Amino acid sequence: MRVLGIETSCDETAAAVVEDGKTILSNVVATQIPFHAEFQGVVPEIASRKHTEWIYAVTKEALDKAGIEPSDLDGVAVTGEPGMLGSLLVGVNFAKAFAYTEDIPFIVVNHILGHLYASRLTEAAPNYPFLGLLVSGGHSIICRADDFDAVTVIGATIDDAVGEAFDKTAKYYGLGYPGGVVIDKLAQTGNPSAFRFPMPNLYKGEHRYDFSYSGLKTAVVNQLEQFRVQHEPASPADLAASFQKTAVDILLRSLFRAIEDTGLTTVVVGGGVAANSYLRARLAAHPGICAVFPPPSLCGDNAAMIAGLGYHYLGRGDRSPLTAAASSRTQGFKKKYP
């Protein structure tokens, strides 16, 4: 079964063809980063406009790279939630029109389940159940995955996403965009102990596996003010290394608790921050944990994960109506405190 995947939830216009939920025939991602860089963050209006301009050409390229015609497809899967509503609508409406025109089944899927599915498109596909650590510009989530559609969120950020903290820190210090990539590189020559930034005070009860990044963000801004008042140079490498260490410590403290409490030692990491070299090194150095990182092409937003996930719904006969809506928030699953 060949499924066309469409993904337009944020600032990547993506289309892919995946066979039987496993074999990637094509995976095209057109990034809009240069259009958002001057604003040092994603501008929703620009994003949806670029999706509208690019979606046809990106889909055509995905079909050409797979060496197939639209009539060779058995279904279309598209990200319907969560994300920026205007951007989601472009993909959802395009996918509906495509499925209607070709008279093939159509399914709307969840972006977060897509990120968790990405690891199943690799040789290292872990067996269920496992823990998921989803870390991007929009999400910071720890979840338990028992199947492709059976996912329980057990921890989440109570304010900002970790990727956003990287992006904002880079913005305050004028380091560039996207912040995660710049800080990761700068941090390699910096001293992670140069500055002590605070950890959130989330230990107990329903917040046991949660994250918070607003305190770290404020501390980083205050530090910048201190540099200014004391006429000191801002030492970007030390700042980047210290910020990155704290940002990753916050993730790992909650993750290690979840590992200990659930007994699940396989962790699938996904989302743009999964590319972070310090996070990878820290997890790799931890005995007893099997951390699965999809390759970079499947870590960030892509449509192969959407096509692969969609195959399983379509294969068991699930269909979305052509009236299906997009949603900026996840409708399907709620956070539960085990």
User: Which residues are at the interface with ligand KG4 (CB under 6 A)?
Assistant: 10, 136-138, 163, 166-167, 178-181, 184, 271-273, 275-276, 300-301
CA separation for the pair 95, 10 (Å, rounded): 16
* DSSP code of residue 178: S
Is the CB of 75 or the CB of 82 nearer to ligand KG4? 82
Is the CB of 130 or the CB of 177 nearer to ligand KG4? 177
Number of helices and strands in the chain (H, E) = 11, 10
**Cis geometry, peptide bond prior to residue 129 (ω within 30 degrees of 0):** yes
CB of 5 vs ligand KG4, minimal distance in Å? 15
Which listed option, Zn ion, ligand KG4, none, makes contact with residue 105 (CB within 5 to 8 Å by class)?
none
Asked if 136 touches Zn ion (CB under 5 A), the answer is yes
- For the chain, the maximum distance between any two Cα atoms, rounded to a whole number of angstroms, is 67
CA separation for the pair 214, 11 (Å, rounded): 23
CA separation for the pair 121, 286 (Å, rounded): 25
CA separation for the pair 94, 305 (Å, rounded): 18
Is the CB of 55 or the CB of 134 nearer to ligand KG4? 134
Token pair 């892509």 is found at 302
Q: Could you tell me how many residues of this chain bind Zn ion (CB under 5 A)?
A: 2
CB of 315 vs ligand KG4, minimal distance in Å? 26
Is the CB of 168 or the CB of 245 nearer to Zn ion? 168
Is the CB of 73 or the CB of 250 nearer to ligand KG4? 250
CB of 330 vs Zn ion, minimal distance in Å? 12
CA separation for the pair 163, 327 (Å, rounded): 21
Is the CB of 138 or the CB of 155 nearer to ligand KG4? 138
CB of 69 vs ligand KG4, minimal distance in Å? 30
Which listed option, ligand KG4, Zn ion, none, makes contact with residue 166 (CB within 5 to 8 Å by class)?
ligand KG4
CA separation for the pair 148, 313 (Å, rounded): 9
Is the CB of 25 or the CB of 134 nearer to Zn ion? 134
Q: Shortest CA distance to 112 belongs to which of 317, 296, 334, 337?
A: 334
Which listed option, ligand KG4, Zn ion, none, makes contact with residue 275 (CB within 5 to 8 Å by class)?
ligand KG4
CB of 235 vs ligand KG4, minimal distance in Å? 20
- What type of residue is 336? K
Q: One symbol per residue from 292 to 311: x for binding Zn ion (CB under 5 A), - otherwise; what is it?
A: ---------x----------
Rounded to the nearest 10°, the torsion over CA 22, 154, 299, 240 is -170
Q: How far apart are the first and last CA of the chain?
A: 37
CB of 88 vs Zn ion, minimal distance in Å? 12
Binding site for Zn ion (CB under 5 A): 136, 301
